[in-house]
Amino acid sequence: MINEAFIFDAIRSPRGKKKGGALNEVTPVDLVSKLMKTLARKHELDTSQVDDVVLGCVTPIGDQGANVAKTSAQFAGWDIDVPGMQINRFCASGLETVNMAAMKVRSGWEDLVVAGGVESMSRVPMGSDGGAMAFEPKVNSKTDFVTQGIGADLVATMEGFSRKDLDEYAAISQSRASTASKNGRFKSLIPIKDQNGLMILDKDEHIRPGITVDDLGALKPSFEIMGQMGFDAVALQKYSGVETINHVHTAGNASGIVDGAALVLVGTEEKGKELGLKPRARVVSAALVGMDPTIMLTGPGPATKKALKKAGMALSDIDLLEVNEAFAAVVLRFLKDMGKNDIDNVNVNGGSIAMGHPLGATGAMLLGTALDELETRDLSTGLITLCVGGGMGIATIIERV
């Protein structure tokens, strides 16, 4: 007897810009707490019934250190009976927590779990938590460390994606996001206000409405210099069939650095009935894969295939896809891997290129975005997938109920 895992709600904060962004003044714990208070209020939730809070955070130090999940639950005034845990699967963290929540529920040992994530990149810069992969030379060397942008440029080079291909994709993301933002398609976006009820941010402010391919074409490649210094050499020594790496990724066709948080409420059907929670979707399957850390960003294809296999489904069964736009090449490579040549049902409301990628939260945000749009279009099935720095991939399939 499997206890199906149902998603009762998925909410998120808007994403704040890094420089001069509106969420820079909001501490991470405060940001999560605001969402927690909203979630509890919205569902008249008896928080003592929450078995665990699992939040993703990729740079869990300083303001977001010391188990930001448990701290936020306490600060939000949730019942003292609520435990919490912070996890780190890099960019996949936000989705990983949903998968973990589903597993906890399906195991029969927990009935109600809050998943999600938070990342305040303007306050706690990416990489400021150190780590051996980059900063311990013997580890760096053995694992052929390169920065993610190099991996992205390598993918683009090997697949023959031109700068124009990437910028065109980026412009579409921006356009879709801009339209969706204006038309209120992000139903689960919770405006962030201060302690006095004054508005701090009520929309994703990283979006550049009206930006053109030409505008994007004017930007300089971000990873050329560090590539030439040595990272390209490391990559080319491994991918010996490649002559040179084309540095085609820029700030405009890669994900934005932003602040944001998201929560997803997952539980059993019974628990839902007991607490008056109406399920919006069911978690159908989840999958993880690993791959070469140097190219690192090709995980979405394999992870998606694995998840589909677990679910006994085909790609054609999926109505909407959210493929994290860590870099434009990631999405284009995914399409190729899956034998798809259109983006009609992929990232239909834009993605991280336009709105930003708050590392620990993005996975949960993409799930909420997919769910909102499935409901709006009255469609059934969604698949969310992300690449992961360092060489992993994750995918989750959800189905409306």
- Among 51-59, 196-204, 313-321, 375-383, the segment contacting other proteins (CB under 8 A): 196-204
Site string for other proteins, 116-135 (x = CB under 8 A): -------x------------
End-to-end distance of the chain based on CA atoms, in angstroms? 19
CB of 37 to other proteins, least distance (A): 16
Residue 65 binding other proteins, by CB under 8 A: no
Q: How is residue 247 annotated by DSSP?
A: -
CB of 199 to other proteins, least distance (A): 10
Nearest 5°: the CA angle 375, 380, 383 is 100
Measured from the CB atom, is 195 or 341 closer to other proteins?
195
> 1, 41, 195, 378: which one contacts other proteins (CB under 8 A)?
195
Rounded to whole angstroms, the Cα distance separating 204 from 22 reads 10
> 42, 48, 77, 194: which one contacts other proteins (CB under 8 A)?
194
Rounded to whole angstroms, the Cα distance separating 337 from 316 reads 14
CB of 255 to other proteins, least distance (A): 23
CB of 274 to other proteins, least distance (A): 30
For the stretch 357-396, what's the b/e string if a residue is b when 16 or more beta carbons lie within 10 angstroms of its beta carbon? bbbbbbbbbbbbbbbbbbeeeeeebbbbbbbbbbbbbbbb
Rounded to whole angstroms, the Cα distance separating 182 from 227 reads 38
Measured from the CB atom, is 197 or 241 closer to other proteins?
197
Neighbours of 399 (CB within 10 A): 19
> 37, 49, 63, 375: which one contacts other proteins (CB under 8 A)?
63
Do residues 4 and 260 lie in contact, with contact meaning Cβ atoms separated by under 8 Å?
Answer: no
Measured from the CB atom, is 2 or 198 closer to other proteins?
198
Measured from the CB atom, is 77 or 160 closer to other proteins?
77
- Catalytically annotated residues: 91, 357, 387
- Nearest Cα residue to 247 out of 225, 230, 264: 225
Measured from the CB atom, is 4 or 25 closer to other proteins?
25
> 4, 37, 43, 62: which one contacts other proteins (CB under 8 A)?
62
Contacts of 70 (CB under 8 A, 6+ apart): 53, 83, 84, 85
Residues near other proteins, by CB under 8 A: 24-25, 27, 62-63, 123, 194-198
